[in-house]
Amino acid sequence: MTDQTKDRVVIFDTTLRDGEQSPGATMTHAEKLEIASMLDEMGVDIIEAGFPIASEGDFRAVSEIAKQSKDATICGLARANLKDIDRCWDAVKHANSPRIHTFIGTSPLHRAIPNLDMDQMAERIHETVTHARNLCDNVQWSPMDATRTEWDYLKRVVEIAIKAGATTINIPDTVGYTAPVESADLIRRLINEVPGADEIVFATHCHNDLGMATANALAAVAGGARQIECTINGLGERAGNTALEEVVMALKVRGDIMPYETGIDTRKIMNISRRVAAVSGFAVQYNKAIVGKNAFAHESGIHQDGMLKNAETFEIMRPEDVGLAATNIVMGKHSGRAALRAKLHDLGYDLADNQLGDVFVRFKELADRKKEVYDEDLIALVNAGLDDESDRLQIKHLQVICGTDGPQKATLTMVIDGAEQSTEATGDGPVDATFNAVKALFPHEARLQLYQVAAVTEGTDAQATVSVRMEEDGRIVTGQSADTDTVVASARAYVHALNRLLVRREKTGADKREVSYKDVS
């Protein structure tokens, strides 16, 4: 490697692939394109856009992301078989800079799944990496569950992949099993002992099952890895993946001991974090590093006193470094369209005129009900209004009767495919009654997996952001809405999820994942 390569750490974002595979985090086609564009603009080097063989929907998303990409390399994932690799290439070949990422599980547990012995798997690796390289000159190969693979066998297959033409070797800690000292040592030994290792890039892909994903990724860099695979907000299966914002800011803040740089515009971190949280339905925990609501909050008297005297006493980075507005200017009912546009721009949102008009109308409605409209309120309004799939089902009128004496009753009028329908329903509380009313007007078999309420700001007039997750025949969708009335927000989130479910139904299950090891051949 050149000295320049050693100083530069490549950021490989897999929010749209590994992150989107997290149960309930499935995004719509339009949302995938939007997130990909935001990743490209913030300087992500490589975007793993999806798993093209998984479904027609995944293929179409990867293909269109490849066509719209400007600077980022667009990567697709493929299992170790020729059909997967061909499908992957068909999707990514439209990019200015395409990459094929192919993988196979090499640990004893994973070798048992396709029932391959060591020699058979080695032959499979040589065949598939060679095939991928004949299609594309940028090929990444991963030995899945590498951290639980026997050392001698890991060395053997890494050498095979390099000789077959892989330009990047990714070492995945697939189940979050390793520790930082092991992560660094594993990369270091591979570079030192595998022939040809000094001519390619080593990558690290860590999961957070033991809470060490960020530490393991940074340790791997110390060991010689020059690509980090990560996701926005640490989204991903089980406990998630290495969080992009954490590794990027760690490298930026602690450049004294980690002298590496990335190409990420860190000022765009907060905006994409909020958007990913909104479209995935996975709220960011308050104490999440870098992007959590409390990441730059100070309540302790000692901390507040220190901050007033010198912000550096208790802050190792500035809020504006990650795109958090330094001031939280309050908007009100007298604020105009131009002020709203300027404020949203400061928050990272540049809306088209029709989108701004829609947000402005809802902003005025909110300002009439809520004396002070804060940044968080505006973000909730934008996120609740950017999805355009809520067309077949719409809530027109909702009135709820509740109290200690009961019964809790909801009177609901909905527009369903253009026709108004009304009903009344009771339930165990106002939200249950409302959901029962929706189901009476629009019968369905979808199961509510998650119902989550969070206050956007403080005070009794605060907006509530409600997220719901629903499942029907293996299809998982999320819905989100915000309102000062928690029941209204709940109803809209529920209907939002149903609208997304209708879109999935119309695709006749195209987005339902059906890939498995049985297909590896």
The rounded mean pLDDT for the chain is: 87
Question: What is the DSSP secondary structure assignment for residue 296, as one 8-state letter?
Answer: T
Per-residue pLDDT for 506 more than 80?
Answer: no
Mention every residue, 6+ apart, whose C-beta is less than 8 A from residue 123: none
Per-residue pLDDT for 513 more than 50?
Answer: no
Sheet with 447-455: strands ordered across = 447-455, 464-472, 475-483
Per DSSP, the three-state class of 255 is: coil
Distance in angstroms (rounded) separating the CA atoms of residues 386 and 276: 13
Per-residue pLDDT for 313 more than 80?
Answer: no
Distance in angstroms (rounded) separating the CA atoms of residues 511 and 507: 7
134 is in an annotated binding site: no
Mention every residue, 6+ apart, whose C-beta is less than 8 A from residue 310: none
Mention every residue, 6+ apart, whose C-beta is less than 8 A from residue 357: none
86 is in an annotated binding site: no
List the CATH code of the domain at 393-506: 3.30.160.270
pLDDT band at 24 (very low <50, low <70, confident <90, very high): low
Q: Burial code of 411-436, b = ≥16 C-beta within 10 A, e = fewer?
A: bbbbeeeeeeeeeebebeebbbbbbb
Which segment of 260-264, 346-350, 410-414 scores lowest on mean pLDDT? 346-350
Question: Maximum CA pair distance of the chain?
Answer: 77
Closest CA to 461 of 358, 355, 369: 369
Instruction: Answer whether 427's CB lies under 8 Å from 448's CB.
Output: no
Distance in angstroms (rounded) separating the CA atoms of residues 332 and 340: 10
Instruction: Answer whether 351's CB lies under 8 Å from 344's CB.
Output: yes
- Give mean pLDDT, residues 114-143: 97
- Give mean pLDDT, residues 390-405: 86
Instruction: Answer whether 90's CB lies under 8 Å from 64's CB.
Output: no
pTM for the whole thing?
Answer: 0.81
294 is in an annotated binding site: no
Domain ranges of the chain: 3-280, 296-322, 323-385, 393-506
* pLDDT for position 326: 57
| Domain 3-280 = CATH 3.20.20.70 | yes
Angle between helices 56-68 and 29-42 (to 10 degrees): 30
Per-residue pLDDT for 253 more than 50?
Answer: yes
18 is in an annotated binding site: yes
